[in-house]
A and B are shown apart, each in its own frame.
Chain A
Amino acid sequence: MLAVNELLQQVANGLAKGSVYALIAVGYTMVYGVLELINFAHGEVFMLGAYFGYWPARWLGYMPDSGEKPQVPAPVALLLTFGAMAACALIGVLVERLAYRPLRNAGRLSALITAIGISVLMQNLALVVFHADSKDFPRMIDQQSVVLGPVELPNTKLLIIGVTALMMAGLFWMVRYTRTGAAMRACSHSMKTASLMGVNVNRIISLTFAIGSAMAAVAGVLISLDQPRLTPLMGLMPGLKAFVAAVLGGIGSIPGAVAGGILLGVVESVVGGVAGTTYSEAVAFVLLILILLVRPSGLFGKSGREKV
């Protein structure tokens, strides 16, 4: 009985972890869906999201400390999140505009190399601007434990799961039921044909980057609830794992990215609980190799051209 409870507890922890992966993974998958480009700078946008939440909080006078009391009132935390989303959206749009758009017809390899270059550039800019020493995000909520049947989760993790669910519902609705969402799906099939419908393809691409980056910013602020330590390299591993999650789910598919993220988070947690965290770090790559061997198009991947 104990073992089952332990397992359920790890699954619950994994949901929170996986939520963060999922939030980042949708950015990879949406950009890939439209441009067939792996935006390797996306993990850095997540990192920037955390800092864009952190710095205004500090400017407003909220100090990090180890106490349990919240230092940032909820409405301010919400505003900080919106601010980080807007700032990251702008950065995502600028990166596409300045780095990827000029190379749009230059072939995939050039774009890939550029993406890696932008990623390294952003890491190093962050090192210069934010400094290498870690920063602690001021506490945003009063930390409590919540008992849910057999499992017990800190309210921070529940908040991460809840906000992610809300964001995903909003994204699904937008892509599925609005004309703009239909235009995004149309662009992911053929930009040329979409332009024949009167769709301004460049605007849709900018929007795709903006949405993906804003979701990554939310992930950056949310993870600070759970792991408040910020460093300029904090985007590296979550970025890489979210990319693996997107491939797991079938890159190009939004439901796939969500499923891949959750799956990765849960398996990591369970493996971490059973075998120790040393092994959990390898889970992403083992899963990646497995899926590439068994079902290279990913869980939700289609053989056809439907991507977003």
Chain B
Amino acid sequence: MALLEIEHVDVFYGAVQALRSVSLRVEQGEVVSLVGSNGAGKTTTLNAICGLVRPRAGDVRFDGQSIARVPTHELVRRGLVMAPEGRGIFPNLTVAENLDLGAYSRRDHGAVKTDLDRVLALFPRLNERMRQKGGTLSGGEQQMLAIGRALMSRPKLLLLDEPSLGLAPLLVKVIFDTIDAINREGVTVLLVEQNANAALKHSKRAYVLESGSIALEGDASQLRDDPAVKAAYLGE
């Protein structure tokens, strides 16, 4: 049984259909990436998984249970967490408060402290900025905060929406290395990226989304050699 299964999901914004019968699955322990051009429906897919938009048809199952009607905050408690597009950090809260909110639904305060230390070990730059307002961080630091904050909830499945967007190449590498590290610690990852090259390199399997439908799917290494993918997404 897959950790996450999406079956024939349709999503509409008003009269406009953004997703057409999208199906995908993420197995326990995998990194799966979802690539596609602007407006393909990647963010919509993630939003449909975590309950920010509701599918008109189809089903979303997490850990064997349908979550199509479960509120977003409840999914966080169950271990399904998203670091949203554009980072979504709280600029009016300090870095420490942002991280603490990541652990909002947890009551095991001792373990939260340990997790905070782990997150700060992963992103030492945040450690120096704990008292600073989130809005004063640089773009790269904000991305680290967004990922670190998501980890504070101890997710089973982490949804990342364009974590490398707008970052310098060196930082992009840091972010992808971090994704590898998080995955090694047992967190399953569904990764949305425009940087298809890096995404495919760092994931096991991948889906290609085109105008709201899944156009291709398969092993990441296989897709990297696919001429159509090369032409459309890898700029080769």
Contact = CB atoms under 8 A, between A and B. Distances in A.
Say which size band chain A's interface belongs to. Answer: 20 to 34
B13 to A, nearest CB: 13
A199 B84 contact: no
A306 B92 contact: yes
A199 B135 contact: no
A179 B104 contact: yes
Contacts of B102: 197
B90 A186 contact: yes
Contacts of A190: 88, 90
A196 B76 contact: yes
Given A182-B93, A192-B52, A304-B135, A198 B104 contact: yes
A264 B178 CA distance: 54
Contacts of B73: 195, 197-201
Contacts of A183: 101, 104
A307 B82 CA distance: 25
Interface in B24-55: 50, 52
A304 B81 contact: no
Contact of A197 (B92, B104, B135): B104
A185 interface: yes
B84 A193 contact: yes
Given A179-B101, A196-B82, A199-B104, A185 B92 contact: yes
A189 interface: yes
B124 interface: no
Interface residues of B, number: 24
Interface string A242-261: 00000000000000000000
A182 B135 contact: no
A104 interface: no
A194 B135 CA distance: 16
Nearest to A190: B88
Contacts of B221: none
A196 B84 contact: yes
Contacts, number: 70
A185 B104 contact: no
A305 interface: yes
Nearest to B78: A198
B153 interface: yes
A197 B97 contact: no
A156 B52 CA distance: 51
B111 to A, nearest CB: 15
B100 interface: yes
Contacts of A188: 92
Of the listed residues B52, B73, B84, the one surrounded by the most CB atoms of chain A closer than 10 A to its CB is B73
A304 B92 contact: yes
Interface string A165-198: 0000000000000010011011011101111111
B84 to A, nearest CB: 6
Given A196-B81, A198-B105, 11 more contacts: A182-B100, A186-B101, A193-B84, A196-B50, A196-B72, A196-B84, A197-B101, A197-B104, A197-B149, A201-B73, A304-B91
Interface of B: 50, 52, 71-73, 76-77, 81-82, 84, 88, 90-93, 97, 100-102, 104-105, 135, 149, 153
22 contacts: A182-B97, A185-B90, A185-B92, A186-B93, A188-B92, A189-B92, A189-B93, A192-B84, A193-B84, A193-B88, A196-B72, A196-B84, A197-B101, A197-B149, A198-B76, A199-B101, A199-B104, A201-B73, A304-B135, A305-B91, A305-B92, A306-B92
Interface of A: 179, 182-183, 185-186, 188-190, 192-201, 304-307
